[in-house]
Structure 1
């Protein structure tokens, strides 16, 4: 896909259901890209919040986006293992040099031992009311939480033991 060639830098843009920009990761290196899947990596990248605040990510991360699934996965390489932060979100689109998705607040944090915690249910419930998520969307999102947790239990896709390490090794070749 044009613009998703390995080694190319792109942005990641997160939106809310109402169309407002939520968060932007300034630079992510494409490791594999197609119309169906994007795998990228970043380290100490600038993140800009919707209110203009900025911060830098703390550790290298491998990002997994899919055009079919209503979630994305960020594997963060820390000294004590790989932690995963999973956003329940719309499938991604790629346009104007950026991977874009709608963030639906629900998140799953997965620890190196593959235990996990579901986060931000209160925020999800609030936004569901404020932005009037349709019932069909609510069902899709909760089904994808279950699907994501199945991947965690099965150590499938980005949760497979070698996934993050292999993609991180490739990322290092682009940084040298």
Structure 2
């Protein structure tokens, strides 16, 4: 078993909740970079299955950034009016040959093309924190990672760097020819 998927491999992405139940599955993403600590993937018009069985298809190309040491993942969605980012506060990813997997911890940050942002789902986070008994240490880690993400946004670091999404989108396009 490899510690990570190979470049060019088509993988699934599985999101879980803290209680171990599946939250969402993305059927197909192509790996653009795969190491033991970082996976960058891409997808476009991929089928997504929700926990209740409902399905939908993504509307635009997206570059997905997952890290084994950060408690968040970042999706850069490429739209006509610019790049929108959706940042999920989550556990670091794991790869187990079946799929890339992580635990979704409800809090999200939506970043607009002008780099303004909003923190989403604080009420859902508080409700689930109580219902699923998130340990205090997880609560602290997640709140610290919200601060880290906001810092990355301000500093244009990682996936927020001006050419990051464009660079990986070009690589994604090379696989689609």
So what's the TM-score if we normalise by structure 2? 0.98
Could you say if the C-alpha distance between residues 77 and 137 of structure 1 is closer, same or farther in structure 2, counting changes exceeding 3 Å?
A: same
- Tell me, yes or no, if structure 1 residue 61 matches structure 2 residue 62: yes
Partner of residue 108, structure 1: 109
The aligned length equals 176
Partner of residue 158, structure 2: 157
Equivalents in 1 of 2:113, 2:8: separation in Å?
Answer: 28
Equivalents in 2 of 1:74, 1:85: separation in Å?
Answer: 5
1:100-141 deviation per Cα after TM superposition (whole angstroms, max 9, x unaligned)? 000000000000000000000000000000001111110000
Aligned-residue CA RMSD in angstroms?
0.8
- Tell me, yes or no, if structure 1 residue 167 matches structure 2 residue 136: no
Equivalents in 1 of 2:34, 2:72: separation in Å?
Answer: 17
Equivalents in 1 of 2:161, 2:98: separation in Å?
Answer: 29
Equivalents in 1 of 2:54, 2:31: separation in Å?
Answer: 25
- Tell me, yes or no, if structure 1 residue 136 matches structure 2 residue 105: no
Equivalents in 2 of 1:126, 1:89: separation in Å?
Answer: 16
Any gaps of 5 or more consecutive residues in structure 1?
A: none
Partner of residue 124, structure 2: 123
Equivalents in 2 of 1:127, 1:70: separation in Å?
Answer: 17
Whether the aligned pair in 1 keeps the contact of 2:3 and 2:36 (CA below 8 Å) is: no
Partner of residue 71, structure 1: 72
Residue 86 of structure 1 deviates from its aligned partner by 0.2
So what's the TM-score if we normalise by structure 1? 0.98
Any gaps of 5 or more consecutive residues in structure 2?
A: none
- Structure 1 runs (4+) deviating above 6 angstroms are none
- Give the 3-state SS of the residue equivalent to 2:134 in structure 1: coil
Equivalents in 2 of 1:53, 1:24: separation in Å?
Answer: 11
Residue 97 of structure 1 deviates from its aligned partner by 3.1
Whether the aligned pair in 2 keeps the contact of 1:3 and 1:97 (CA below 8 Å) is: no
Equivalents in 2 of 1:175, 1:71: separation in Å?
Answer: 28
